[in-house]
């Protein structure tokens, strides 16, 4: 009789706990919970990007060296390419130049990427949310790099000096040529978006659209070809880094809660013929 009473008491004590754990695993997260979760992912993507060079392997350093060598080669023709683009600026339709300027502007770009994320957030569409997180985190990481680099390098724009003219830490806008902020923001958005599609034609179309801002800045004589090329390389590296981070870290809140629940001790009552026991799963 004592064993029977003990069994009933244990069932009463542990059954509600198990039911509560199961209900937590299937609970749909609120919009606010998702927003807090995603904010951590955005900041985590930014931190992950900045820490990546410390874990690069030989292949990564080889690629970085190749980019530097390639930029040095392009620098040889910086003046010629700048003259070419500026010469043909009047031949390009204004709609293309306007698109390149406005889409690459921070206020417009973040307005678009923010809208993508908010749409995914309020509709609880994980794929769109992930795309928005990737865009915002990558643009922020690359944008901070370009903001610092502009001031530190102080490279003259084609319209303000020669390709070897530098005024480090200058406050003059004419000496903020490297890197190209419009290129970074615009191409980050389109390159991140292109990664969401497997169709090569869709990918190519989005990447082509992302090149409008860089080309428009060359046409305006605002940047050298090497500024734009290195900005594109930086953008690709940052987007790939954040994308890799999200592949590892992103999941629905219910999935994260389920993983946490697996780490908790789960008690199970076992009754059998002539036997009684409690097992704990860790």
Give just the sign of the alpha carbon dihedral 256, 39, 235, 104: positive
User: What is the arithmetic mean of pLDDT over 186-202?
Assistant: 93
Q: How far apart are CA 244 and CA 34, in angstroms?
A: 20
Question: Among candidates 161, 139, 151, 168, which has minimal Cα distance to 234?
Answer: 139
Residues 6+ apart with CB under 8 A from 253: 29, 33, 34, 37
Look up the CATH architecture of domain 31-249.
Up-down Bundle (1.20)
Question: Among candidates 139, 131, 143, 129, which has minimal Cα distance to 37?
Answer: 129
Model confidence pLDDT, tens digit, residues 77-87 = 999 999 999 99
Model confidence pLDDT, tens digit, residues 145-169 = 999 999 999 999 998 888 999 999 9
Return the residue matching tokens 């620098």.
Answer: 75
Q: What are the boundaries of each domain within the chain?
A: 1-29+252-282, 31-249
pTM of the model: 0.79
Q: Are strands 275-281 and 266-272 parallel, antiparallel or unpaired?
A: antiparallel
pLDDT confidence of residue 272: 53
Top-confidence residue, 44 or 256: 44
Counting beta carbons within 10 angstroms of the beta carbon of residue 160, is it exposed (0 to 12), middle (13 to 18) or buried (19 or more)? middle
Model confidence pLDDT, tens digit, residues 115-141 = 999 999 999 899 999 999 999 999 999
């Amino acid at each position: 009789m004592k064993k029977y009473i003990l069994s009933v008491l244990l069932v009463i004590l542990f059954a509600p706990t198990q039911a509560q754990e199961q209900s937590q695993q299937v609970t749909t997260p609120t919009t606010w919970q998702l927003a807090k979760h995603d904010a951590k992912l955005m900041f985590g993507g930014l931190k992950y990007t900045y820490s990546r060079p410390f874990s690069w392997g030989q292949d990564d350093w080889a690629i970085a060296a190749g980019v530097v060598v390639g930029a040095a080669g392009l620098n040889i023709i910086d003046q010629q390419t700048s003259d070419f683009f500026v010469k043909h600026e009047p031949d390009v339709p204004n709609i293309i130049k306007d698109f390149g300027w406005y889409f690459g502007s921070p206020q417009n770009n973040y307005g678009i990427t923010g809208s993508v994320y908010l749409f995914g957030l309020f509709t609880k569409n994980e794929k769109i949310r992930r795309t928005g997180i990737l865009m915002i985190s990558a643009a922020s990481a690359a944008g901070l790099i370009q903001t610092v680099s502009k001031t530190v390098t102080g490279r003259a724009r084609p319209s303000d000096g020669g390709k070897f003219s530098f005024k480090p830490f200058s406050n003059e806008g004419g000496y903020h040529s490297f890197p190209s902020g419009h290129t970074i923001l615009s191409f980050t958005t389109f390159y991140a978006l292109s990664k969401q599609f497997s169709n090569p034609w869709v990918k190519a179309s989005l990447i082509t659209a992302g090149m409008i801002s860089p080309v428009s800045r060359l046409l305006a004589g605002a940047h050298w070809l090497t500024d734009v090329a290195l900005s594109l390389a930086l953008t690709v590296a940052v987007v790939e880094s954040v994308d890799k981070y999200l592949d590892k870290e992103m999941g629905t809140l219910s999935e994260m809660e389920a993983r946490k629940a697996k780490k908790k001790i789960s008690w199970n009552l076992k009754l059998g013929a002539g036997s009684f026991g409690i097992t704990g799963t860790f």
